[in-house]
Amino acid sequence: MTTAAILTAAGSGSRLGHALPKALVPVLGEPVVVHAARRLLAARPGGAPLAALVVSAPADHVDAFRALLGPDVVVVPGGPTRQASVAASLAALPDDGIDVVLVHDAARPFAPADLIERVAAAVRAGHDAVVPGLAVTDTIKRVGAGDDGWPVEATVARGELRAVQTPQGFARATLERAHAAAEQDAGDESVAASDDAGLVERLGLPVWVVPGDERAAKITTPRDLAVAVLLATDTKDL
């Protein structure tokens, strides 16, 4: 089997509040997207390097991304939602016998190689959709909508919950089918899927969870950027 990866990096990073798009924000002197791409390219899913890497960029930064990532990485303009950006990258994926696709967020730039390889291995073992997940450590409450607060409706059994990360791995045909079936939602953030496995779930197909890794934490807020500096140091040799 042959594995390729899609790296989503076209978001603006509004919650981060930086002057640059989030993927171009430096961590220890290098842009987030460079850290993320380097770790994907260093992984050996199935014992071989990725056959291709397609990165989505903000439309007005495509040339800057190409200069940063070099000629072996395909850069495409992203769309208005994460789902649309993945769909654009999927359309640009070469044929080349690629039958396993990893979808990863540049916003999780320090995912270690063993996590990447674990997800790909589960797809190669026969699971057509695989996500890495971490057990939830807080008590989780489901709340209603009140005028001046949020009344608790239930305490959710947290043993059943997983906080899901990327990379997520798919049989290519399953990922293409899932995106094609949800194409009408891709332009609207209020209905677009927040992850690719969610699109597979909408088809009624199974999604398999493998252990996640705290080092694959997502940079969303300014605090996360401070933590990212620690993760960059922690994973610099991975």
Q: Is 21 exposed, middle or buried (0-12, 13-18, 19+ CB in 10 A)?
A: buried
* Binding partner of 56, given ligand LQXTBERG, ligand CTP, none, CB within 5-8 angstroms per partner class: ligand CTP
For residue 10, CA distances in Å to 13, 57, 94, 171, 201 come to: 9, 4, 20, 23, 24
Region from 17-25, 46-54, 161-169, 203-211 binding ligand LQXTBERG, contact rule CB under 6 A: 161-169
Q: For residue 67, give both structure tokens.
A: 């200069």
Q: Which is nearer to ligand CTP, 12 or 155 (CB)?
A: 12
204 close to 175: Cβ distance less than 8 angstroms = no
Residues 41-70 that bind ligand CTP (CB under 6 A): 56
CB of 95 to ligand LQXTBERG, least distance (A): 26
Q: Which is nearer to ligand LQXTBERG, 76 or 199 (CB)?
A: 199
How many Cα neighbours within 13 Å face the side chain of 88? 23
Q: Is 72 exposed, middle or buried (0-12, 13-18, 19+ CB in 10 A)?
A: exposed
Q: For residue 3, give both structure tokens.
A: 């594995």
* Sequence-separated (6 or more) residues with CB below 8 Å from residue 39: 109, 110, 111, 112, 113, 116, 235, 238
For residue 44, CA distances in Å to 4, 102, 125, 134 come to: 11, 12, 16, 23
Query: Should residue 168 be labelled a site residue for ligand CTP when binding is judged by CB under 6 A?
Result: no
Site string for ligand LQXTBERG, 82-101 (x = CB under 6 A): x-------------------
Query: Should residue 194 be labelled a site residue for ligand LQXTBERG when binding is judged by CB under 6 A?
Result: yes
* Binding partner of 194, given ligand LQXTBERG, ligand CTP, none, CB within 5-8 angstroms per partner class: ligand LQXTBERG
3-state DSSP call for residue 6?
A: strand
- How many angstroms separate the CA atoms of 47 and 68, rounded? 26
- How many angstroms separate the CA atoms of 205 and 54, rounded? 25
CB of 69 to ligand CTP, least distance (A): 14
Query: Should residue 213 be labelled a site residue for ligand LQXTBERG when binding is judged by CB under 6 A?
Result: no
Q: Which is nearer to ligand LQXTBERG, 2 or 220 (CB)?
A: 220
Query: Should residue 128 be labelled a site residue for ligand LQXTBERG when binding is judged by CB under 6 A?
Result: no
Q: Which is nearer to ligand CTP, 105 or 213 (CB)?
A: 105
Query: Should residue 93 be labelled a site residue for ligand CTP when binding is judged by CB under 6 A?
Result: no
Summarize as ranges the residues that interact with ligand CTP (CB under 6 A): 8-16, 22-23, 56, 78-82, 85, 105-107, 218, 220
